[in-house]
Amino acid sequence: MREIEYREAIREAIIEEMNRDHKVFLIGEDIGKYGGAFRAYKGLLDMYGEDRVINTPISEAAIIGAGIGAAVTGYRPVSELMFIDFAALAMDQIVNQAAKIRYMTGDNLRCPLVIRTQGGAGRGVAAQHSQSLEAWFYHVPGLKVVMPATPYDVKGLLKTAIRDDNVVMFIEHKMIYLLKGEVPEEEYTIPFGVADIKRQGSDVTIFAYSNMVYKSLEAAADLEKEGISAEVFDPRTLVPLDEEALLKSVKKTGRLVVVTEACERGSVASDIAAKVALKAFDWLDSPVKVVAGLNTPIPYNSTLEQASIPHKADIVNAVKEALGK
């Protein structure tokens, strides 16, 4: 099977959906001639014109507000927020408007809006451009939250997101746009709420998403050399969550390590740990471990930045602690 970059898988998904449905359009900053901050929209302005690739001023409130208005009138916009940090400037539109429209109108209005954005640390762009804020949206009823790790997953899930009648927070990681992976040439979609076991194991389940999937796979490979079999569980979508598959994995291994790049306080990881502790207590052979970022703003200094987020060694150590080693 061919291998393509993560960002090229995004581009392919958008082209396929824009060709399939003329009501799909793009709106955001620098998405026209520039092709987007990470070049996922390269060439799309020439292909579809300014009516469907709409370059905006620097106004996140306008980008999301225009997307909501278009969505409730029958279009399927993909509104891009260049950095997830900037969602703070559009939280009223996202949380109080988009997420609640379908409920508050008794399903008379729907909001098929994809909010495509990226987060995470690693590029030295400091505290206002490096946060992992998925927990904000995970907390809000009415929002779906998707965080794909691989080129295969990002293409299939983005196509599903564009076809969904609800608001989808589609969150990518800035460090994986150039990573390559196998992606079929034929069309496919991936349903929401279906996790993927990235690596089978029997001694411990490592729950990880987005860029932490790669660090968890590296940790699992090192652990295997020491005779420890780690299962890497990628939920792919946080909302809806494939809770049944997670509990099945934990029942098999008897241990759970939850990994997130976000700071631990109030994190998705803390909630997952609580869910499993409540629902799988009798299957656990040791307490759930959480590996997370520090409760601090992301530093600009590269050494301090790396010190603030989890790495392979942190995951390895957490697994060993769970195993009593």
Task: Classify residue 190: in a domain, yes or no.
Answer: no
Rg (CA), the chain: 20
Tell me if 200 is assigned to some domain: yes
> In this structure, are 224 and 262 located in the same domain?
yes
Number of domains in the chain: 2
Q: What is the pLDDT of residue 204?
A: 98
**Residue 184 CB partners (closer than 8 Å, separation 6+):** 1, 152
Whether residue 159 is predicted with pLDDT greater than 90 in this model: the reply is yes
Q: Print the domain residue range for 274.
A: 196-322
Q: What is the pLDDT of residues 107-129, one digit of tens each?
A: 999 999 999 999 999 999 999 99
176 and 29 in one domain? yes
CB 310, CB 292: distance < 8 Å: yes
Residue 222 confidence class, pLDDT cut points 50, 70, 90:
very high
For the chain, percent of residues with pLDDT exceeding 70: 100
Contact at 8 Å (CB) between 290 and 240? no
The residue with tokens 């390559």 is 180
Average pLDDT over residues 94-105: 97
pLDDT at 325: 86
**The predicted structure's pLDDT at residue 94:** 98
Is residue 174 located within the same domain as residue 206?
A: no
Residue with tokens 């809770």: 243
Q: How far is CA 22 from CA 53, 155, 163, 179, 302, in A?
A: 12, 19, 12, 30, 44
Residues with catalytic roles: 129
Query: Pick from 157, 182, 207: which residue ends a domain?
Result: 182
At residue 76, φ and ψ (nearest 5 deg) are: -125, 80
Q: Do 201 and 139 belong to one domain?
A: no
**What is the CATH number for 114?**
3.40.50.970
Asked, for residue 189, whether it belongs to a domain, the answer is: no
Both structure tokens of 299: 């530093």
Q: Are residues 156 and 294 in the same domain?
A: no
CB contact set of 251 (below 8 Å; sequence gap of 6+): 280, 283
Give the tens place of pLDDT for each residue, 242-267.
999 999 999 999 999 999 999 999 99
Q: Is residue 268 part of a domain?
A: yes
Q: Identify the domain boundary among 182, 210, 226.
A: 182
Task: Give which of 32, 115, 107 is closest to 77, Cα–Cα.
Answer: 115
Tens-place pLDDT, residues 284-310: 999 999 999 999 999 999 999 999 999
Supply 80's token pair: 């891009």
pLDDT higher than 90, residue 148: yes
| DSSP characters over 231-287 | EEEE-SEEES--HHHHHHHHHHHS-EEEEEEEESTT-HHHHHHHHHHHHSGGG-SS-
Rounded to the nearest integer, the mean pLDDT of the chain is 97
Decide if pLDDT at 48 tops 90. yes
CATH code at 214?
A: 3.40.50.920
pLDDT per position as a tens digit, 15-39? 999 999 999 999 999 999 999 999 9
Edge-first strand listing for the sheet containing 196-199:
196-199, 230-234, 204-208, 256-263, 289-293
Q: What confidence score (pLDDT) does residue 279 get?
A: 97
